[in-house]
Amino acid sequence: MGQAVTVALLGADDEQARAFGKKGTQSDITLYNAVRDGHAATIIVPTQFPEKLAPLLYAIAMADRALVIVNALDRPLAEMLATLDLFGPPVTVALGPSVGEEEFRRAVRGTRLEGAPTRPLDLPQLRNDVDGWSAEVRPGPVRVRLDHAFPVKGVGTVALGVVTQGRLAAHDRLQLYPDDRIVEVRSIQVHDAEVEAADCGERVGVALKDVEVDVVGRGQVLAPSGSLRASTDLRGTPVRRSRYYKGALTAGATVQLLVGLQLVPAKVAEVTETSVRLTADRAVAYAPGDTIVVADLSASLGPRTVASAVAQ
């Protein structure tokens, strides 16, 4: 496979999403896949947002880039934009006919999206834009973030995910973080074609040896032993607070923390203007430099995303 990219498609209806690829895996998020002229695009739509915040967090966390379709300046869009501001992936905005450029710029003033490029809502042109995008190449020990797993008759456990760092090779023996379990990569598929290896940015189906499907799930990470940390105690700095969150980030608060695709209940143990320490209900796999996002699922007004920080 040539270049590959994973894109969070936000604000799109089902008809708009189908313009970007063939519908694939469906759960609380829906994936659309397209392979054209050696370029592979995986489009992720947070299907169950805004009823649930988690699908939006997962879609953005999985993505190399985000494409926001603005059909109206409404409350769900406001929460999307506030959440994107905490993650910081490259964002392209497509404005529908009822939303003006100046109106949109006012809505995102003071955020990371203030300088985001805008386009007219022209689906064929946007699809061409996606064909020119690719994932950032991150050298180092392989990391594969898993998002789905299922049993296949005659094969065993198959996990789906994206190679976010390094190169994945058949017969690699890797740790299934945050657990201690070691598994072997029996085989790899990229967009239904069996390959011997997959590079950074490629979406893979990985047949795993020595593990049952009921212990594999979203949030787990395949990586060499010793390359990641697994802990219930996480520290992050600097802290970027959501300017739109109506509550306060205070010690003792019960929150949800997201690292990669791991969404875990946690307590705020300590917080200052520049740092935060969180105690999670269960171990979380991470490396220094990973993004930690804090969410408040009980928030009744304004966005449910609270802050982000860089894991130390």
pLDDT in tens, 147-194: 999 999 989 999 999 999 999 999 999 999 999 999 999 999 998 899
User: How deeply is 159 buried, as exposed, middle or buried, from its count of CB atoms within 10 A (0-12, 13-18, 19+)?
Assistant: buried
168 and 120, same structural domain? Answer: no
d(Cα 160, Cα 25) in Å, to the nearest integer? 10
273 and 245, same structural domain? Answer: yes
Question: Predicted confidence band at 30 (pLDDT cuts at 50, 70, 90)?
Answer: very high
User: Which tokens hold the place of 22?
Assistant: 């063939």
Residue 136 placed within a domain: no
C-beta neighbour count of 245 within 10 angstroms: 21
159 and 99, same structural domain? Answer: no
* pLDDT at site 275: 97
Domain count, the chain: 3
pTM of this prediction exceeds 0.75: yes
Last residue of a domain, one of 223, 253, 273: 223
- The boundaries of the domain holding residue 195 are 143-223
d(Cα 231, Cα 286) in Å, to the nearest integer? 8
Alpha helices by DSSP H, listed for 10-110, are: 14-18, 54-62, 75-87, 101-107
State the DSSP code for 194. Answer: E
Per-residue pLDDT tens digits for 220-257: 999 999 999 999 999 999 999 998 899 999 999 999 99
d(Cα 245, Cα 303) in Å, to the nearest integer? 6
Q: Can you tell me which residue has the tokens 């973030």?
A: 145
Residue 137 placed within a domain: no
253 and 207, same structural domain? Answer: no
Sequence-separated (6 or more) residues with CB below 8 Å from residue 57: 83, 258, 263, 293, 295, 305
